[in-house]
A and B are shown apart, each in its own frame.
Chain A
Amino acid sequence: MATIAHGTPETVATEVNYLNVEHGWKSWLFTTDHKRIAVLYIISITLMFFVGGAMAVGFRVNLLEPQGIFSAETYNRLFSMHGIIMVFFFLVPSIPATLANFLIPIMIGAKDLAFPRVNLLSWYLYVAGAVLTMYAVFRGGVDTGWTFYVPYSSTYSNSYVLAAAFGVFTAGFSSILTGLNFIVTVHKMRAPGMTWSRLPLFVWSNYATGLIQVLGTPVLAITLLLLAFERIAHVGIFDPAIGGDPILFQHLFWFYSHPAVYIMILPGMGVISEIVSCFSHKRIFGYNFVAFSSMAIAVLSFVVWGHHLFITGQSVYTALAFSILSFLVAVPSAIKVFNWTATMHKGSVSFDTPMLYALGFIGLFTIGGLTGLYLATLAVDVATHGTYFVVAHFHYVMVGGMVMAYMGGLHYWWPKITGRMYSEAWSKFAALIIFVGFNLTFFPQFILGYMGMPRRYHAYPPEFQMLNVLSTAGASILGVGYIIPFVYMLWSLKYGPKAGKNPWGASGLEWKIPSPPTTYNFDDTPIITEEAYNYGPVEEVIG
């Protein structure tokens, strides 16, 4: 397609797109095209996902035997590195840095993000952080848990805390820059007519995510810096021996890390809104409520962090307030679930692969969210906080929620990103395998937690073996479930049938441009005259 006087030859109707416009590694490593950067991110986070997954294989194998198979030391390092890699190098960047990076400019009718070079810088920071963290892995890993709690991390740990902490610190700046870019882009780059009430909900949810990234992540940065000073020089800021308070570390850490849970789930909710509307062939129910619930979640997420401190020496009065506030987050989350359900009601629902993931998300997120209410209850949390109940809860939200949404989104926009379709049969099969494997892995952990099995131990009483073996069996099914898409998606790059502009018959600007898009997305700046999700009463599919 012709682009507007920017060096690309003005040939009409040849298939020049962002992927084949330039070749060679330099054209990728020095690109400022948001779509190419998104692809770089997809490759990097997939790599980190499998590294983090390998760690999980390790400790699930260990838990086959009540006395453990590896040493306690090895087990601690495996689960810590699993957490660090999965949280900071997969979940946090997962949807924002990949799908949103690719789609936000297109969805609002812009040629690129507001700061393309900053976008590239953010990828390099991510890679630098990942390299530092992998250095820590190869030197033997970290055994503090992903939370780096003092005094383990400052005084007692002999593992590579500093390398991993600096890795996370660096990746944090990558996340800040992504958020900053999204915020400015959504405010300043919208095409004429793209009012706030016409923004796709995916953009709304990533805008809210951007706010959290910008407001929360700097606090993580300073917290890790203070930890580094404490570890290197023993300055005493978190050391009770001279009057420092380790709980201050937890306050600062969770001021970021609770909202970070919403960095990890809000973009997923955005994906689900898009998918549910598309495959119900119906306007989303309660657009305003879904949009504002994203903003409400972003704001509320900053006043509930203390629910992670219920079993520390935190003041009981503060704990009480945090407990009540934590319940409030359920309101906007429930609004979303009800609206998705209402959207499907009386829609002509088709069960393509992305929709299967979306349905999986809605069910699993609901379980994860409701068990979150148990944990927000002060008294219940005191009993369950240190158990597998918490592990099961956040994996239902993070894996059952966010990873499902990421997979759904990837399948939904794959034809747009690559211009190819993947195998429908295989993708449906994989979605099913993932759903079964996931539940088999994590549902037993709810029961284990309820029965009182503590988390983070390499050994356990023999009566817990049955459920642990089930969980490990589930994990291996889940692992297979993740490898299948990896294979058929790679396969589709070369052999997949070409996807048209709009294989799903979806509304939205991204489906009105070629697949894959050209470098500047639009030949001419579009003027938007309609709201999002304009699925008419009569089905109108544009090929």
Chain B
Amino acid sequence: MAETIVPVSHEPPAEATHLRHHFATEEQQMDASTLGMWTFLITEVLFFGGMFAGYAVYRNLYPAAFASSSQYMNVVLGGTNTAVLICSSLTMALAVRAAQLSKQRDLILFLILTMIFGTIFLVIKGFEYHDKWVEGLVPGLHWGSYPEAPQFAHNAQILFFLYFCMTGMHALHMIIGLGLLSFLLIQAYRRVFHANYFAPVEMIGLYWHFVDIVWIFLFPLLYLIGHRR
């Protein structure tokens, strides 16, 4: 067993400026970050999953109360935001592509576009929150008499709490995403990324798409359920 340690030649790759000391090759480093990011996204799935489980339980318990909430949900704003996020996902994918092709100007352009779409989303969300506050639909803090369906005034609170909790957590992830994107933007201005080094763009891209996917489920569950009941 003493013979198991055999020296392997260790020549650092020529342009390995971003290879950290404990990896053998850039490929290994890239594989590790990709797997790490996907693992992180799994934790995010389960984090949001707790709220989705709560949604499933209460929607099953109080279907009528949940349906009654639909008249307070602004489908136009929700739909617009869905479209805005899908656009931001496209520009994010294009940004990753630009980095992979070493197209510096395209990368900067698409990162800025992604950030603009992200900001539009948050602004629209802010208007929606404001409307809810004015209408007294914020459980715990400002809950009115729920005039359109007073018989559900109790149970509908749970739905509105889930609405705020789920969209709020989603918005928080958007804000963190915008922070990460500005970090990428600064790096992109410094021409850090090129065809041989684009892992951060790709990783943050994965995160951004994940946040998009969460909204893809939130939109139908919160906005589209229970019309015309």
Q: Known A189-B32, A528-B4; judge A183-B39 contact (CB<8 A).
A: yes
Q: Tell me whether B42 and A214 are in contact (CB under 8 A).
A: yes
Q: 30 A-B contacts, Cβ less than 8 Å apart?
A: A112-B21, A181-B36, A183-B39, A188-B31, A189-B32, A214-B39, A218-B47, A219-B49, A219-B50, A222-B47, A226-B51, A236-B154, A237-B158, A237-B161, A242-B158, A243-B58, A243-B61, A243-B62, A248-B54, A248-B57, A251-B53, A252-B50, A520-B22, A524-B7, A525-B10, A526-B6, A528-B4, A529-B4, A534-B1, A542-B2
Asked if A223 lies at the interface with its beta carbon under 8 angstroms from chain B, I say: yes
Which 8 A-B pairs rank lowest in CB-CB distance, beginning with the nearest?
A233-B140, A222-B50, A218-B47, A524-B7, A112-B22, A111-B22, A235-B140, A235-B161
Interface size on A, as a range, is 35 or more
Q: Tell me whether A217 and B43 are in contact (CB under 8 A).
A: yes
> Please, how many angstroms separate the alpha-carbon atoms of A512 and B21 in the complex?
22
List, in ascending order, chain A residues with CB within 8 A of B158's CB. 236-237, 242-244
Q: Tell me whether B5 and A522 are in contact (CB under 8 A).
A: yes
Q: Known A180-B40, A223-B50, A243-B62; judge A520-B21 contact (CB<8 A).
A: yes
Asked if B35 lies at the interface with its beta carbon under 8 angstroms from chain A, I say: yes
Q: Tell me whether B42 and A188 are in contact (CB under 8 A).
A: no
Asked if B88 lies at the interface with its beta carbon under 8 angstroms from chain A, I say: no
CB-contacts of B1-51 with A (<8 A): 1-8, 10, 20-24, 28, 31-32, 35-36, 39-40, 42-44, 46-51
Q: A226-B54, A233-B141, A525-B8 are in contact. List 17 more A-B contacts (CB 8 A).
A: A114-B22, A118-B36, A180-B36, A188-B31, A214-B39, A214-B43, A217-B43, A218-B47, A222-B50, A235-B161, A236-B140, A241-B154, A244-B58, A248-B53, A509-B4, A529-B3, A542-B2
CB-contacts of A485-543 with B (<8 A): 507, 509, 512, 520, 522-530, 534, 540, 542
> Please, how many angstroms separate the alpha-carbon atoms of A245 and B55 in the complex?
12
Q: Tell me whether A184 and B39 are in contact (CB under 8 A).
A: yes
User: Which B residue's beta carbon lies closest to that of A6?
Assistant: B21
Q: Known A229-B140, A237-B162, A244-B158; judge A114-B3 contact (CB<8 A).
A: no
Asked if A234 lies at the interface with its beta carbon under 8 angstroms from chain B, I say: yes
List, in ascending order, chain B residues with CB within 8 A of A232's CB. 140
List, in ascending order, chain A residues with CB within 8 A of B40's CB. 180
B135: min CB distance to chain A, Å: 17
List, in ascending order, chain A residues with CB within 8 A of B24's CB. 525
User: Which one of B3, B47, B54 contacts A237 once the chains associate, using CB atoms below 8 Å?
Assistant: B54
Q: Tell me whether B47 and A219 are in contact (CB under 8 A).
A: yes
List, in ascending order, chain B residues with CB within 8 A of A115's CB. 32, 36
Asked if A192 lies at the interface with its beta carbon under 8 angstroms from chain B, I say: yes
Q: CB-CB contacts of A202-229 with B at 8 A, as 1s and 0s?
A: 0000000000001111110111001001
Q: Tell me whether A110 and B10 are in contact (CB under 8 A).
A: no
> Please, how many angstroms separate the alpha-carbon atoms of A527 and B7 in the complex?
8
Q: Known A188-B32, A221-B47, A236-B158; judge A512-B22 contact (CB<8 A).
A: no
A135: min CB distance to chain B, Å: 24
Q: Tell me whether A184 and B32 are in contact (CB under 8 A).
A: yes
Q: Tell me whether B4 and A512 are in contact (CB under 8 A).
A: yes
Q: Tell me whether A235 and B10 are in contact (CB under 8 A).
A: no
Asked if A176 lies at the interface with its beta carbon under 8 angstroms from chain B, I say: yes
Q: Tell me whether B157 and A235 are in contact (CB under 8 A).
A: yes
Q: Known A188-B28, A218-B43; judge A114-B157 contact (CB<8 A).
A: no
List, in ascending order, chain A residues with CB within 8 A of B8's CB. 192, 524-525, 527
Binding site for A on B (CB under 8 A): 1-8, 10, 20-24, 28, 31-32, 35-36, 39-40, 42-44, 46-51, 53-54, 57-58, 61-62, 65, 139-141, 154-155, 157-158, 161-162, 165
Q: Tell me whether B155 and A242 are in contact (CB under 8 A).
A: yes
> Please, how many angstroms separate the alpha-carbon atoms of A528 and B1 in the complex?
9
Q: CB-CB contacts of A170-193 with B at 8 A, as 1s and 0s?
A: 000000100011011001110010
User: Which A residue's beta carbon lies closest to that of B140?
Assistant: A233
Asked if A116 lies at the interface with its beta carbon under 8 angstroms from chain B, I say: yes
Asked if A4 lies at the interface with its beta carbon under 8 angstroms from chain B, I say: yes
List, in ascending order, chain B residues with CB within 8 A of A176's CB. 43
User: Which B residue's beta carbon lies closest to that of A521?
Assistant: B22
> Please, how many angstroms separate the alpha-carbon atoms of A100 and B39 in the complex?
19
A450: min CB distance to chain B, Å: 36
User: Which B residue's beta carbon lies closest to that of A115?
Assistant: B36
Q: Tell me whether B7 and A226 are in contact (CB under 8 A).
A: no
- Highest count of chain A CB atoms <10 Å: which of B44, B46, B158: B46
> Please, how many angstroms separate the alpha-carbon atoms of A4 and B158 in the complex?
60
List, in ascending order, chain A residues with CB within 8 A of B48's CB. 222
Q: Tell me whether B50 and A4 are in contact (CB under 8 A).
A: no
Q: Tell me whether A218 and B57 are in contact (CB under 8 A).
A: no
B151: min CB distance to chain A, Å: 12
A159: min CB distance to chain B, Å: 21
> Please, how many angstroms separate the alpha-carbon atoms of A540 and B3 in the complex?
14
List, in ascending order, chain A residues with CB within 8 A of B28's CB. 188-189
User: Which one of A111, A215, A226, A234 contacts B50 once the chains associate, using CB atoms below 8 Å?
Assistant: A226
Q: Known A4-B10, A111-B21, A219-B47; judge A235-B139 contact (CB<8 A).
A: yes
Q: CB-CB contacts of A99-120 with B at 8 A, as 1s and 0s?
A: 0000000000011111110100
> Please, how many angstroms separate the alpha-carbon atoms of A402 and B198 in the complex?
43
> Please, how many angstroms separate the alpha-carbon atoms of A218 and B47 in the complex?
5
A320: min CB distance to chain B, Å: 20
- Highest count of chain A CB atoms <10 Å: which of B5, B58, B157: B5
> Please, how many angstroms separate the alpha-carbon atoms of A526 and B3 in the complex?
10
User: Which A residue's beta carbon lies closest to that of B20?
Assistant: A116
List, in ascending order, chain B residues with CB within 8 A of A4's CB. 10
List, in ascending order, chain A residues with CB within 8 A of B157's CB. 235-236, 242
> Please, how many angstroms separate the alpha-carbon atoms of A229 and B139 in the complex?
10
List, in ascending order, chain B residues with CB within 8 A of A217's CB. 43
> Please, how many angstroms separate the alpha-carbon atoms of A527 and B24 in the complex?
13
List, in ascending order, chain A residues with CB within 8 A of B31's CB. 188
Q: Tell me whether A530 and B140 are in contact (CB under 8 A).
A: no
A127: min CB distance to chain B, Å: 21
Q: Tell me whether B32 and A114 are in contact (CB under 8 A).
A: yes
B49: min CB distance to chain A, Å: 7
List, in ascending order, chain A residues with CB within 8 A of B7's CB. 523-524
